[in-house]
Amino acid sequence: IKEEGPFDGIMGFSQGAGMAAIVAALAESGGGGWRPFRFAMFFAGFYPEQMAAFGDTVGKSRLGVPSLHVVGECDAVVPRSRGVELATRAFEDPEIRSHPGGHFVPCNAEWRRIYQEFLAKIDAAPDL
């Protein structure tokens, strides 16, 4: 991130979503040495319980970065409840969306519209 950034946002799928949450927390706390992200997107994500530092960071105050959390109703790998836990425990005002499928990133026209609308809100917001 220091070498290739700055980046406007971060996104991750499954374990990558857990890692993206950790990186977003580092950015927001100033611990990463780079500016906070303008947005974060998580697909089939989960709250990274094993990272005590993550819990310490979000335990003080939830992350303010605008976030979209996409969870599958039939996800057998990362149950929907774990994705919702990441959203509600770690983020101030998360946008949570569910799809009827399993462990994948939905990408049909309806979901592309949802992603575009989320990103349009970010684009319209003033830079901090």
Residues catalogued as catalytic: 14, 75, 103
C-alpha pair distances (Å), 61 with each of 35, 90, 99, 123: 18, 8, 29, 25
Contact status, residue 87 vs residue 69, Cβ threshold 8 Å: yes
Map residue 96 onto helix, strand or coil: strand
How wide is the angle at C-alpha 18 spanned by C-alphas 14 and 21, nearest 5°? 130
